[in-house]
Structures are given as structure tokens and as C-alpha cells.
Amino acid sequence: MADKIEKDAVSGTETTGHEWDGIKELNTPLPKWWLYTLYVCCGWAAVMCLLYPSIPGIHGYWHGVLGYSSRAAAMEGVKEIDARHAVPLGQIGETPIDVVVKNPKLLETAMESGRITFANNCAPCHGQNGTGRPGYPALGDDVWLWGGKLTDIQTTVTHGIRSADTEARQSQMPSFGTDNILTPAQIQQVADYVGVWWGVTPSGTDVTAGAKLFADNCVACHGDKGQGNHDFGAPPLNAHIHLYGGTHDAIVAQVTHPRQGVMPNWNARLDSATIKSVAIYVHSLGGGE
């Protein structure tokens, strides 16, 4: 090897002086600014590590000089949204529900607030999006025990059903079986009669006795055609929707010793604007009544 920098004979390029089995490496150097750019990036990374939460420890982590926290930033965002909703929610509280739905701006806030409120408070019983389940009515269908207008729903949510509220919706179906108002045989006849309306009673069954019993005992609340009555929360019987099941046995059980649901009065937990919002949302699930 020579004292001076060796040049490759073919390409005329300097070599690095390294040699492996006679193969030499050409020196094609990177520009210096490239190296400095790397140093700048390393420095940048170090500064960012210093400024922001970065290095995990055993009992915590480095919080950074700026004290940034993504959780705090998210909470800031929540506060901002709350502040933005405060004005329309205040207006919803002061406006009759029928007027709220005619104001697109208020309606938008009400629907959003109602959707979230429903998911947090109502969905545990009524199911996601008011799917409903045995004992808890579906809210997207066309049967409304206590009325499906906006104001009806608002009243039901506010005061509840058979709740502690003095203005709660109240009704009591007699226990026809356990209170010995009807005999078990008579209850079978009544069940046969109403079962005709949705086809659970085999065709050809003689229901004249049941019809007579129905007229004497049930018509006052459920109506002469089994159409139901909002005033007593009496469900329509000429329908294919059954809160406690639509089989013959389920009817017999319900007439013998009725189960009756309780819904809490939400005025104890939610403000009036939120109740209106949730009523508007529930109404939108199936279009109400």
C-alpha cells in the first residue's frame, strides 16, 4: 500500500483502503450535510423527549417539561363541547317539546343528547336503540302503552310508571286468578278468545264463552275490540306484540296473576332538557304514534 490515497484504476475513484480477497471498496462519500441532518434529527428527538411524556419508569413516567397529558387534552375537548351545547340545551329546557322538533338546530342537539342519554340510562332495560325484551317494551314499534306522541313520551319519562312520583302513570290489572275473580277454566276460555286475534288459538275453537267473559271483565280497560287504552296503559290485545309473551300459556299466566312493570321517574335524575331530548330520540326510533 502506498502512502497516498489510492485511486481505482478503472473508475478513477478513490478507494477506502479496505481490501477483502483482493476486492477493494470505492469511497463514494455521503455529503456532510447529510450527516448533520442526522445529528439535528437526534437533537430534535432529545428535545421532544424532554418536552413531552416519554420515558417510562418503574413507579411512573417522565411527564415532560410542558406537562402535556392526552387525557387532560381530551377533557378540555369535552368541556368545549359541553360549553357549546349549554346554550341549545338551555333553550330546549325552556321550549315546549313540539316546538323543539321544529327547530333544526335544537333538534340536532336534542337528538345527540338524547341518543347518549338513552344509551347511558335507558338501554340497560329497553335494549340498545330500544330493541326491547320480555317485560320491557320495544320502542321502535307501533304499540305505545301510555301513548306514543312526543308529549306522552315526555310525561312517561318524567314521572315514570308505577314509580314513587306522585304524578306517575298508575294502573293495576286485577289478579283474576289468584284473587278468585275468574276460575281457571274461565281464564282458559278468555285466553282462547283473545288468542284468536293473533292466531294462537286453533281455528274452529268455540270462543263464545270467552267472548262473554271478556265483555264482562276486560273491555273496560282493553276495549271492546281489544284495542287497548292509553289512559290505563292497557296494551292492545288485537296485536302481534306481547310484552310477556304471546303463547296461550303466557296469556293464562298474565290473566291469573299479572306481572306489571315499573319504570323510574327520571325527573329525579335528569333535567327537563335532557328528558325532552331523550323523548325526542325515543320518538324518532320508530316514528312514535
| 132, 147, 174, 223: residue in contact with other proteins (rule CB under 8 A) | 132
Q: Is 143 a binder of other proteins (CB under 8 A)?
A: yes
69 CB neighbour count, 10 Å cutoff = 14
C-alpha 175, offset from chain centre: 35
What phi and psi, each to the nearest 5 degrees, are found at residue 209? -65, -45
Q: Which DSSP symbol is given to 20? A: E
| Of 202, 206, 234, residue with least CA distance to 218 | 234
Nearer to other proteins, 212 or 242 (CB): 242
What contacts 240, CB < 8 A, 6 or more positions away? 198, 246
- With contact defined as beta carbons under 8 Å apart, do 288 and 150 qualify? yes
To 10 degrees, what angle do helices 184-195 and 208-217 make? 100
| 9, 34, 60, 83: residue in contact with other proteins (rule CB under 8 A) | 34
Q: Is 138 a binder of other proteins (CB under 8 A)?
A: yes
Size of the site for other proteins (CB under 8 A): 43
Q: Is 128 a binder of other proteins (CB under 8 A)?
A: yes
Q: Is 39 a binder of other proteins (CB under 8 A)?
A: no
Nearer to other proteins, 126 or 159 (CB): 126
CA distance 17 to 259: 96
| Of 237, 244, 239, residue with least CA distance to 258 | 244
229 three-class SS: strand
Q: Is 2 a binder of other proteins (CB under 8 A)?
A: yes
CA distance 270 to 158: 8
Binding mask 85-114 for other proteins (x = CB under 8 A): --------------------------x---
Nearer to other proteins, 183 or 247 (CB): 247
56 CB neighbour count, 10 Å cutoff = 8
CA angle, corner 100, sides to 98 and 105, nearest 5? 150
Q: Is 141 a binder of other proteins (CB under 8 A)?
A: yes
Q: Is 9 a binder of other proteins (CB under 8 A)?
A: no
Q: Is 73 a binder of other proteins (CB under 8 A)?
A: no
Nearer to other proteins, 258 or 286 (CB): 286
- With contact defined as beta carbons under 8 Å apart, do 189 and 207 qualify? yes
Residue 267 beta carbon to other proteins: minimum distance, rounded to whole angstroms: 26
Q: Is 71 a binder of other proteins (CB under 8 A)?
A: no
Site for other proteins in 198-227 (CB under 8 A): 198
Q: Is 131 a binder of other proteins (CB under 8 A)?
A: yes
Residue 216 beta carbon to other proteins: minimum distance, rounded to whole angstroms: 25
- Residues of this chain that bind other proteins (CB under 8 A): 1-6, 14, 16-17, 19-21, 27, 29-35, 111, 127-132, 138, 140-143, 198, 236, 239-241, 283-288
